[in-house]
Structure 1
Amino acid sequence: MVKVGIVVNREKDAEFKLTTEIVKWLLDRNLCVYVYYDLGIKNNNLICTDKDKIYRNSDFVIILGGDGTILGVAREIQKYNTPILGVNLGRLGFITEVEINDIYNALDRVLAGDYRIEKRIMIKADVFRENKCLKTFFALNDICITRGYLSRMVKLDAYIENNLVDTYNADGLLISTPTGSTAYSLSAGGPIVNPTLDVMLLTPICPHSLKSRTIVVSSDDEINVVVDRSQEGLIYLTADGQEGYELVGGDLVKIKRALNCLNLIKISNRSFYDILRNKLKDR
């Protein structure tokens, strides 16, 4: 029996109307469905459980929301390698695959095996203080090290494979995946990169220099960022703009490609460049 998980952004489907319709459609086809909200449906094939079990037990997971919802799911699901099908409930997204009006056609194709898997690299950031790892973060888009609201510029030393690249005096520093190249990195002046490439981007945010530019490195490289010990004021590390951690002077952040990728179910013939063209047109 095919097992399908469903994760929904409650702000996008507050009354669970769409979620309930999709669940009933799947149950009518004798599929096992995992959800983490009680929808009031009585069926032996409907299992209400926590997200971790949904990600671990499902053959694929339907994500109802937008790119932001997928970013949150990506960090949790990557360790299971479970494929996801993103359904867009907002504006045109770069990561979501299906629009609402095409959801059932898309599910028919997935259940018939008429799809492909597109792998997106993720990055892992370990925060060290006095040689002790305090925290680990995963990100699909980017790891950002930046100043607090009222702080001055931060001073950061960036190393690639133990080679000093530059000392940045800036508002911050972004380490992005190709998927994240169309997010914060783009706004910071970074290049647009095809999301299937195996690279990482190092982009300074508002650097106090005319020579500081984005550096593109292999995804096999390790990027080390050291916060200057004389640094005063608040400094934050954020993962995909959704998880955060306060840094202090002397902290070391080691960033490298994560062991697992995010597996995106792709069914449309819409290319990255089609999405890019439409997205830039909207701007």
Structure 2
Amino acid sequence: MTTEKPPVLIESLENAVLTLTMNRPERLNALTPPLLMSLLQALRKASLNPQVRAVVLTGAGRAFCAGGDVKEMAAAGVSVQTLEERAAHLREAMDSARLLREMPKPTIALARGPVMGAGFSLALACDILVVSDSVKISTSFISVGLSSDYGGNWLLAQRVGARARWLSMLSPVLSAEEAARAGIADMVVPDAELETEGNRLASQLASAPTLAIGHIKANLNAVESGVTLGRAMDDEALRQMRCVMTEDHREAAAAFVEKRAPRFAGR
């Protein structure tokens, strides 16, 4: 009798929050091609699904993600693909980090235990990074003779500026408190409370005006790309007027007049 293998990525949609759980706990959720492609496909669908108003990325067991599965890489041997073919396949998979960063919905990483390499890159790509007090964070690419992928260098520089050079070249392992002081982690919670606090935050964001959050992300992403103040203000004005025309803005105005809490529909 054949035992069916558990999915490498668990998807759960509840109350407009999509939770994506990397599910290789026996390998500390180390990344493999099947897991990476499952994540990419799930994020592509989530970005277009109006029923999804917030995305949570987390890991099963005692780790968020230990990075790429080095043991599997070594077992694979020498690839017969050309450099260009290998780079193209990696770049396609890396689009998951871009989607986490750019999709017009809030994204949250909930992390405990090891957060390493490409796993760290994915965590950095999320809008908000919540860690437990058990977390151990490191770029770790240099320890296996690699540079970076999944936008890791760029994303880290956005978080910590020039300090990204020290963190990338020396690859220290940061505790939760050190990550928070460096501006990497947005919130530190006791390990036993990670899911509770994460779900509370995700529910709060999922019940917010989703279109407005999408425009806020677009504004901030434009700043990171280096637009001028004038261009940023042009874009802000257009996006603000788009928000004025939404059902959620009308609901907020009515709720203010009626002295009640608004009920946003994400439209």
TM interval, short-chain normalised: under 0.3
Relative to the length of structure 1, the TM-score reads 0.25
The structure where strand makes up a greater share of residues is 1
Q: Which has the higher helix share?
A: 2
1 or 2 for the larger relative contact order (CA 8 Å, sep ≥6)?
1
Q: TM-score, normalised by structure 2?
A: 0.26
Q: Which has the larger radius of gyration?
A: 1
